[in-house]
Structure 1
Amino acid sequence: GYATIVDPWTVEIKRDDGETQRLTTRSIVIATGGRPFVPDLPGLEETGYVTSDTLWEEFAQMDDIPKRMVVLGGGPIGCELSQAFARLGAKVVQVERADRLLAKEDDEVAELAMSAQQGSGVHVLTGHDAIRCEMVDGEKRLILEAGGEEKSVAFDALVIAVGRSARLTGFGLEELGIETDRTVVTDDYLATLYPNIYAAGDVAGPYQFTHVASHQAWFASVNALFGQFRKFKADYRVIPWTTFIDPEIARVGLNEQDAKEQGVAYEVTTYEMDDLDRAIAESATQGFVKVLTPPGKDKILGVTIVGNNAGELLAEYVLAMKYGLGLNKILGTIHTYPTMAEANKFAAGEWKRAHAPDGLLRWVERYHDWMRG
């Protein structure tokens, strides 16, 4: 049924059987999630569209996937869907308003993603703005604008993947006066204006990842149940995420783009996958491990990994960052040979070589020269 919060301790449910049910409670957790954002494109309702939420049901009713697909959006969801359907045999055109894909990633990562998309058969149009949809002689078309000129792209299915927005309406927030600003406004403990009403997941922000929603759910639930004794602040210090294209792109902490914007001084250490034995054996040499550290220190500010199973490889760095372990600790940890995880150790080794103690090494050299007589 459909639920409405009628007061801070009561939820009213209009059930599918026509009855109305009321539940009373000491605490409420709002976990209504998010929905795909659909732009206000003229003609969109006439031509029709699907989103990452609805395409599975729509396509399941077809004998085959649509032959010509346009994916609107160059973020993670747009890239994942474009590559997947191109590999399944559709002719896919991916449209992005910005001048590159994956705007939150560093330039070389975006370039690699572009290469991966094109290598999978996706026709990528960056720097193109969607302005309207049209039906021309029974054919669906998306009209784009780039450089002051219009371009028409015919399609059988249009996938909208330009972002997601929190579900904030229809269940009582407005009537209770619970503050929203793109998401439900909460304190550090995930409580809203009412101390017994909490929010978790996409509806609470600031990150729209399933694993962050699960993380928040623990804090909201425990604080709701035991907050009168002890409360726990939600911890967002180390948030990883992965874009599941081939090769995978995994991130945690700062990248160069973020560091420059925030004025954070940094050094970059990069280890290329084409040097890794397991990657060579698997013919999976595309990609790298890129680590940002403060100048002269082994503290990990952020990591970007591109390559097969990058999301799994990232976990070691997530753990290290959460518990304050530096690259020297990773370098001193035995990694099984031959595995992809050795890339993490070798990246730490690259950092160590760049920060070799030259004075000590010169003294050691003189010592061994003397020992040899």
Structure 2
Amino acid sequence: MNFDAIIIGTGQAGPPLAQSLAEHGQKIAIIEKDHLGGTCVNVGCTPTKSYVASARRAFIAGNSSELGVTIKGDVLIDLKKIKQRKDGIVQDSRNGLEKMLTENKSITLIRGKASFVNNHTIEVNGDQHTADKIYINVGARPYIPNGFKDVPYLTNESILELEEIPEHLVIVGGGYIGLEFGQMFRRFGSKVTILEKGGELLKKEDGDISDLIAEIMEDSGVEIKLKSDCIGAKKKNDHIEATFNCDDNSQKLKASHLLLATGRTPNTDYMGLENTGIKLTKHGYIKVDDTLLTSVDHIWALGDCNGEGAFTHTAYNDFQIVNSQLFLDQKRFLSDRFTCYAAFIDPPLARVGMNQKDIQKKGLIAKVSEIPMSKIARAKEMGETKGKLKIFLEVDTDSILGATFIGAGADEYIHTIIDQMYAGSSYQTVRDAIHIHPTISELIPTMLENSTMLRYFVKK
């Protein structure tokens, strides 16, 4: 069949783009090889945050005596029921997408794996489809390192299908996925050990933040083993034997379950891209320009497969960029975007823009304002004083370079800073604002009244 446009993938960017193209009179095909909704709906944000909610309820139920609330008896975890609730939420999202994509007469939903025949032709299930414009939105999948082929490992996808609590969950990788699942399953009752080959968790963060996250995880009862090189595993009788460290220092762990949280790899290796003029990075991501156009002038790449975000919110922003370039007077560009994200441990880490590592690398003259959560009245009243707030300011322009927050609700009030950065406001705008008392965010203006210079040496 011939279409005006073909979209490959129904992740966060695909369906809204299909809807917009259809509203502008185009005939659209959207191709999906698996469940509708991509990573976020099926194995990412939606299911994991429903699990995080259950884990927090379990934690609160068993850890409120300091606030004068004591529950007699055991706190029981029903993972099967937690999974059923998650499955229901996921299915609701899938159903909504199915309705949207099938009831629009200008959109044809094609089920199957897409492969390029040439720059204009896509083959699915033996049928060939052509289009003037093609939008690739194929996402990414878990990266599986060498040495685990014969081990019954779990990924962020398969672990969500468990119906019984692991006795001892060993996690390889101390990134966002590993930390979220680690704390979650510890709160469900598993013994949890995280093996991280680096010297700190979340290596992109500043050292004090990485240390604080390690402290939070250890306070949760998660065992952290940093600098764990030579990580391997094998099936041994009724358990998995995980090994780490080299030579004479080699250690072994007896695990009931093994979760590989070692990163993501783009789904670009099965699409026949070698039959096109599309260029890839050395890691397999599709190269794009500031408008998300690939090296072929009628093919765009959106979402995780372009390596420019790897988050649901950046994928949706990819749609906004492409849509603006196609139909709006005010154009959006990739370079307009401030990096922002959160790690949904408890308390959460939230980040926007630069941190001290980034500022030092660029050699900028900057200041930092920070305050520990233990100094914030609302945090003390809630009994949740773990964490700190940090905001980085450029001396020459008074602009906000970035912020890193760890604390109860940080994933929400980080948007105070995000919005000001997009508005191009001076930090003085926030400093002089009046916030509601008693809240945690009311201390953001107060902390900006005092700042200290960042001191470091920049190598010439």
1:207-226 pair list within 5 angstroms: 207-223=309-325, 225-226=326-327
Q: Per-residue CA shift, 1:250-305, capped at 9, x if unaligned?
A: 11111112222222222111122222221121112222211111237532111111
1:164-313 pair list within 5 angstroms: 164-181=264-281, 182=283, 183-223=285-325, 225-226=326-327, 232-295=332-395, 298-313=398-413
One-letter amino acid of the structure 2 residue matched with residue 280 of structure 1: K
1:97-176 pair list within 5 angstroms: 97-145=197-245, 148-176=248-276
One-letter amino acid of the structure 2 residue matched with residue 46 of structure 1: D
Gaps of 5+ in 1: 15-19, 356-373
* Distance of 2:247 and 2:186 partners within structure 1: 27
Aligned to 1:21: 127
Aligned to 1:365: none
Q: Per-residue CA shift, 1:300-350, capped at 9, x if unaligned?
A: 111111101111111011111112112210122221111122122222233
Q: Tell me which of 195, 208, 211 is aligned to 1:95.
A: 195
User: How far does residue 132 in structure 1 lie from its aligned partner after superposition?
Assistant: 2.4
* Distance of 1:116 and 1:145 partners within structure 2: 24
User: How far does residue 121 in structure 1 lie from its aligned partner after superposition?
Assistant: 1.0
Gaps of 5+ in 2: 1-111, 454-460
* Distance of 2:414 and 2:267 partners within structure 1: 31
One-letter amino acid of the structure 2 residue matched with residue 104 of structure 1: K
Contact 1:188 1:233 (C-alpha < 8 Å) held by counterparts: yes
Q: Per-residue CA shift, 1:172-214, capped at 9, x if unaligned?
A: 2111131101210111111112111000111011221111111
One-letter amino acid of the structure 2 residue matched with residue 253 of structure 1: G
The change in CA–CA distance for 1:168 and 1:107 in structure 2 (over 3 A counts) is: same
1:15-54 pair list within 5 angstroms: 20-41=126-147, 44-54=148-158
User: How far does residue 49 in structure 1 lie from its aligned partner after superposition?
Assistant: 0.5
* Distance of 1:296 and 1:199 partners within structure 2: 37
SS of 1:45 mapped into structure 2: coil
The answer as to 2:188 corresponding to 1:79 is: no
Contact 1:271 1:350 (C-alpha < 8 Å) held by counterparts: no
* Distance of 2:447 and 2:198 partners within structure 1: 32
* Distance of 2:230 and 2:221 partners within structure 1: 21
SS of 2:448 mapped into structure 1: helix
TM-score, scaled to structure 2: 0.70
Does 275-284 or 142-151 show the bigger shift? Answer: 142-151
TM-score, scaled to structure 1: 0.86
Q: Per-residue CA shift, 1:134-190, capped at 9, x if unaligned?
A: 233443101111575100011111101111111112122111131101210111111
Q: Per-residue CA shift, 1:29-77, capped at 9, x if unaligned?
A: 1010011111001xx23321011122212x1xx3x12111101001111
Aligned to 2:165: 65
Aligned to 2:8: none
* Distance of 1:146 and 1:120 partners within structure 2: 28
Contact 2:137 2:301 (C-alpha < 8 Å) held by counterparts: yes
Q: Per-residue CA shift, 1:6-32, capped at 9, x if unaligned?
A: 233332211xxxxx4333322111010
* Distance of 1:230 and 1:283 partners within structure 2: 46
The answer as to 2:116 corresponding to 1:5 is: yes
* Distance of 2:382 and 2:225 partners within structure 1: 32
User: How far does residue 230 in structure 1 lie from its aligned partner after superposition?
Assistant: 8.6
SS of 1:170 mapped into structure 2: coil
Does 235-244 or 162-171 show the bigger shift? Answer: 235-244
The change in CA–CA distance for 1:96 and 1:349 in structure 2 (over 3 A counts) is: same
* Distance of 2:336 and 2:422 partners within structure 1: 10
* Distance of 2:371 and 2:231 partners within structure 1: 42
Contact 2:244 2:250 (C-alpha < 8 Å) held by counterparts: yes
One-letter amino acid of the structure 1 residue matched with residue 354 of structure 2: L
* Distance of 2:327 and 2:236 partners within structure 1: 61
Contact 2:234 2:242 (C-alpha < 8 Å) held by counterparts: yes
Contact 1:139 1:155 (C-alpha < 8 Å) held by counterparts: yes
One-letter amino acid of the structure 1 residue matched with residue 317 of structure 2: H
Contact 2:435 2:442 (C-alpha < 8 Å) held by counterparts: yes
Q: Tell me which of 319, 337, 353 is aligned to 2:437.
A: 337
Identity rate, percent: 30
Aligned to 1:368: none
Aligned to 2:23: none
Contact 1:69 1:158 (C-alpha < 8 Å) held by counterparts: yes
Does 115-124 or 23-32 show the bigger shift? Answer: 23-32
The change in CA–CA distance for 1:6 and 1:289 in structure 2 (over 3 A counts) is: same
